[in-house]
Amino acid sequence: MRKMTVRVLITVIIALTTCMLVILFLVANVNTVARQYEDNISRAMESRQLVAQISENIYQTESQVWQHIVNENEMEYEKHEERIDGLLVDMSDLMSKLQDSLTDEEDRTLSHEVIRRYGGFKSSVQVVLDLSRQGAKQSAQYYVDKELNPYFDTANELLDAVRQKTTENSSLAEQQMTESISKARIEAIVCLVVVGLITAVCILLVVRSGRLIVDQQEEEFRQHQQRVMDLQYNIIVAMANLIESRDEDTGFHVKRTSWYVDQIARKLAADSPYGEQLDDAYLENLWKAAPLHDVGKIRISDTILCKPGKLTAEEFETMKTHAAEGGKIIYETMRDIEEPAYIEMAHDMAQYHHERWDGTGYPEGLAGQEIPLCARIMAVADVFDALTSKRCYKPAMTVDAAYQIIAESSGSHFDPIVADAFISIRPLVEEYFAAMQEEEQRENE
């Protein structure tokens, strides 16, 4: 079965490779035609632009010649002559460029005729200027009518012919390119259909012969992934429980806060402005990251962490560093072994779960929406569990008293939307809290 699967796969690869080579060949041909078309269009546009400039120069030259004839001022003579000289020089350059830009033989013949007549035109212009300078105005006008005007008319006619011919060439190039692309498209479609049929048959054989193997491999891979994920999560929880056990907590703090966080988030997802942010992936990362929120306590000495009395100001400042240290630990130890979204959430929960809505928290004094949502959720869960749990430095508080503090701290310590969500699920919390107390008592007996 595996040999047949390999052979079919090789056939599919050969078919796909052939298809790709043919398509690449067709694409290359189309690109060549397109480049030729672009070159033709570019040349045609350049030619039309040069023709327009030459026509404009002819018109301006004619105008300057007439102004020279009717002029009586010596200084004006010089100005007109300078302008005419400049126009003639420009016209020579433009005609040379026009000749270079044309590739069609008929166009070049028309352009050459314009250039050929231009030599006589320059001489005629000079004769007119000399006659005008000498005061022979009527002779100059006569020369314009007999010599220059016919050139103007003939040159414009020839230039119009060049313009028309370049336009026709552009249209022909566009038509040729369209035909080439249509032909290439049809060839590509035929090629794809043929190869597609071959590939479909091969894939059908692969599916029929290899379905069991693929399904088995997928199931083995899924089970392996699940075992790895379970192992990772169990290691995380075990590490979190080990850290929490240093201050005489049995590990239930990790379990309870994770549950509280999950229930708050689900309530927010169902009925709050944060619903769009709380998708399935966010919810899963949230409860998986929750056990790591106090990982920074590993860097706090037992002298401070397990102190039965009230901490001094200096000790409390040291204790507060566990939040920032937790964020560092997660980045340092887990960045290369977990998904980026999970790492960011675990970091944010550890680093910012002691920030307060009014900006008086630590370690950065963030306020309001500046605090990541996951940390705002953890803040409520962490405080509630801390209030209702016995510690070496305090007795446990009742659920009623803890809920009263949560409500009073809404808008100051806690995000009011998150606090309201926690208050709204109080029946679920009380039921879970009672069950956990019974489980903890059984474990302690």
Q: pLDDT of 385-394, one tens digit each? A: 999 988 777 8
Q: What does each C-alpha distance from 428 to 76, 128, 257, 422, 434 come to in angstroms?
A: 103, 109, 14, 10, 10
Give percent above pLDDT 90 in the chain.
29
Report pLDDT for 230: 47
What does the mean pLDDT of the chain come to?
A: 78
How many whole angstroms from its chain centre is CA 168? 43
Which one has a higher pLDDT value, 142 or 408? 408
pLDDT band at 339 (very low <50, low <70, confident <90, very high): confident
pLDDT band at 249 (very low <50, low <70, confident <90, very high): low
Q: Which own/partner contact pairs does 420-429 have at CB distance under 8 Å and 24+ positions apart?
A: 421/264, 421/267, 421/268, 421/271, 421/272, 422/260, 422/264, 422/267, 422/380, 422/381, 422/384, 424/267, 425/263, 425/264, 425/267, 428/263, 429/260, 429/263, 429/384, 429/399
What are the boundaries of each domain within the chain?
Answer: 2-209, 248-444
What is the spatial distance between Cα 371 and Cα 394, in angstroms, rounded to a whole number? 29
Residue with tokens 């001489």: 123
What's the whole-number mean pLDDT along residues 313-331?
91
Q: Is residue 177 predicted with pLDDT exceeding 90? A: no
63 Cβ partners below 8 Å, 6+ apart? none
pLDDT band at 359 (very low <50, low <70, confident <90, very high): very high
Q: Which neighbouring-strand residues pair with 410? A: 414
What's the whole-number mean pLDDT along residues 44-64?
75
Q: Indicate the class that CATH gives domain 2-209.
A: mainly alpha
- CA-CA-CA-CA torsion for 368, 372, 376, 382, nearest 10 degrees? -140
Q: Which neighbouring-strand residues pair with 414? A: 410
What is the spatial distance between Cα 248 and Cα 390, in angstroms, rounded to a whole number? 9
For the domain bounded by 248-444, which CATH number is listed? 1.10.3210.10
What is the spatial distance between Cα 199 and Cα 85, in angstroms, rounded to a whole number? 73
Q: Is residue 307 predicted with pLDDT exceeding 60? A: yes
Give the pTM.
Answer: 0.50
Which one has a higher pLDDT value, 407 or 166? 407
pLDDT band at 224 (very low <50, low <70, confident <90, very high): very low
Q: Is residue 200 predicted with pLDDT exceeding 60? A: yes
Q: Would you say 219 and 209 are in contact if contact means Cβ atoms under 8 Å apart?
A: no
